[in-house]
Amino acid sequence: MKNQSLNDQLIELIFSFASRIKGKMSHPLGQTHLTLHQLHVLMYIAQHDFVRVVDLAQNFKTTLPTMTSLVDRLAGDNLVTRERSRADRREVIIRLSKKAQRQIEKATIYRAKMLNEFLEFIPESDKKHLLRIIKNLSEAVK
């Protein structure tokens, strides 16, 4: 890393860190047996009254067959329900089940616990700097 510019070092570390975090978080979350991707889909549905599979595929930048397969698994686990749209019988509306709401709560608690364990290794003064830096990066990404 000595010959790399500061930006190059930061980029390499950011990708490495993100990859490691994703690896830790992609295993089933706590006792929910949800993958991180399934959790993200359920959280997206929870933020909306209802969604269509096509909405999910577009939002998560995946194909319709791939998202249909994921929704099939979620429905098979009683995490989502499907119903025909009253306005257009060809459309299928996806809604969150009560079970999914409980799973989201459990997974969110587990995820926060895991991230807090990582943050325990960082001194408070560094956390303040990290918070400021992440806020700046978040603003730059908008």
> Which class in CATH covers the domain with range 30-141?
mainly alpha
Q: Does residue 17 carry a pLDDT above 90?
A: no
* Overall average pLDDT of the 55-84 stretch: 94
Closest CA to 74 of 56, 90, 87, 86: 56
Find out whether 31 and 45 touch, Cβ atoms under 8 Å.
no
What percentage of residues in the chain have a pLDDT greater than 70? Answer: 93
What digits encode the pLDDT tens for the residues 21-48?
877 766 666 667 888 889 899 999 999 9
- Region 46-62: what's the mean pLDDT? 92
| 2 pLDDT more than 80 | no
Q: What is the pLDDT of residue 54?
A: 92
Q: Where are the domains of the chain?
A: 30-141
